[in-house]
Structure 1
Amino acid sequence: MDLRGAVALVTGGNGGLGQRICHALAKEGVHIAVMYAKSRDQAEGVARELSSGFQINAAAFACDITDGAAVERLVGDVTKHFGRLDILVNDAAYNKAIPFTDLDGLTLDEWDKIMSVNLTGPMRLIKAVAPVMKTQGNGRIVNIASVAGLSPTGSSIAYAVSKAGLIHLTRCMAVGLAPETLVNCVAPGLLEGTRATANLKSEQIERASAASVLKKPADKDDCADMVVTMCRTETMTGQTVVIDAGRVFH
């Protein structure tokens, strides 16, 4: 797909990885809708930076992705503002560090919240953008999962299961939305400087880095560049690419 002039909705676009994704797409001439949940000032700052730095149209949009009506309004507002919607990047996520052995700590409330944000939220967004992309005859969806979805690791059982679900949702939606819309997934390993990492204990971060064959965290720019590749591709769909400095081989 020709990216110049396309419009991308990036959820969690004001986060550590989300900002890198926004910048990588804007560099290609993509107009950006920066979706945020709470941090309005930060998201609007990202939009201003994108607009001035890349001479593209960027704007911030608030949305609670666990609210179906709010998601429908978001897609409508973005489409109205930009005139079209070509790309959805599902980057928004929630996690909480709960040891796998602490089943009492993994309350159903925490389980429901993690699933609602990390799995049902992307499902709501995909369903909302699908008719728009089908009508346009072209679309790209990129889900941001985690290596925790491919191996029993990560901040909690709920987080790992939610990301495993997102990876399989990618495969299923690739079938369901073909041939107009291509759906792919990036599964990062440990990333420094993100809200998800901020919720982890220092020993968890050190252990994850030491476990990789390259002995370092994954690179956010590598992940962002892969998102760009998945938006540009014409023949890859239903795939998950791991970027984790060599921890999980699948």
Structure 2
Amino acid sequence: MDLKGAVALVTGGNGGLGQRICHALAKEGAHIAVMYAQSKDQAETVARDLAARYQINAAAFGCDITDGTAIQALIDNVMKRFGRLDILINDAAYNHAVPFQNLDDMTPQVWDKIMAVNLTGPMRLTQAAAPIMKAQGRGRVVNIASVAGLHPTGSSIAYAVSKAGLIHLTRCMAVAMAPETLVNCVAPGLIEGTRATANLRPEMIERSASTALLKKAADKDDCADQVVTMCRTETMTGQTIVIDAGRVFH
């Protein structure tokens, strides 16, 4: 798909990886809807920077993706602002570090919030975008999962299971939305300089980098470039690509 003039909604677009994805898509000529949960000023700054740097249209939109009504309002507002929606990037996520062995600390409240943001939110967003993309005759959905969804690791059991669910949701939505819309997934390993990483214990960050074949963290720009490739593709759907400096193979 030619990205010039396409409209992309990036959830968590004001985060560390989200910003890189926004810039990578805008560089290709896509217009960007930067979705944020709380940091309105930061998201608006990102949108202004994108518009000035790449001469594209960009705007910030607030949304609580655990609220189905708010999700539909978000999609409606993006359509009012841009007139179309070609790309959905499900990057927004939440984690809360709970060691796997501490089962008593994995409370229903922690479990429910992680699932609501990391899995149910992307499902509802994709559902809301699906009829628009079908009517347009084209669309791309890219989910941002994690290697924790492929291997029993990560900040908590709930986080790992939510990302495993997101990877399988990618496959299921690829079936549901074909042939007009292609659905793929990027599964990063440890990425430095993100809110998710900031919530991890220092020893977990060190172990993730030191046990990788390349002895370093995953690169945000590598992940963003892969998102662009998945938006461009015409013949790949239902796939998950791992970018983790060589830790998990699938």
Query: Shorter-chain TM-score: which interval?
Result: over 0.9
Which residue does the alignment assign to 1:85? 85
Total equivalences in the alignment: 250
Which residue does the alignment assign to 1:126? 126
Tell me the CA shift for residue 201 of structure 1: 1.1
Secondary structure, in 3 states, of the residue corresponding to 1:235?
coil
Distance 1:79 1:217 in 2: 37
State the one-letter code of the partner of 2:239: Q
Which residue does the alignment assign to 1:61? 61
Q: Deviations over 1:134-179 (max 9, x none)?
A: 0000000000000000000000000000000000000000000000
State the one-letter code of the partner of 2:161: V
Distance 1:160 1:153 in 2: 7
Matches within 5 A, 1:27-176: 27-176=27-176
- Are residues 1:226 and 2:210 paired? no
Which residue does the alignment assign to 2:213? 213
State the one-letter code of the partner of 2:248: V
Distance 1:172 1:123 in 2: 10
Distance 2:52 2:127 in 1: 32
Q: Deviations over 1:20-73 (max 9, x none)?
A: 000000000000000000000000000000000000000000000000000000
Tell me the CA shift for residue 236 of structure 1: 0.1
TM-score (norm 1): 1.00
Q: Deviations over 1:199-244 (max 9, x none)?
A: 0111110000011000000000000000000000000000000000
Distance 1:149 1:83 in 2: 35
State the one-letter code of the partner of 2:21: I
Q: Deviations over 1:61-105 (max 9, x none)?
A: 000000000000000000110010000000000001100000011
Secondary structure, in 3 states, of the residue corresponding to 1:143?
strand
Secondary structure, in 3 states, of the residue corresponding to 1:94?
coil
Distance 2:199 2:232 in 1: 33
Distance 2:97 2:216 in 1: 21
Unaligned ranges ≥5, structure 2: none
Unaligned ranges ≥5, structure 1: none
Distance 2:2 2:20 in 1: 20
Distance 1:49 1:104 in 2: 45
The runs of at least 4 consecutive aligned structure 1 residues that moved more than 2 Å come to: none
Secondary structure, in 3 states, of the residue corresponding to 1:59?
strand
Secondary structure, in 3 states, of the residue corresponding to 1:213?
coil
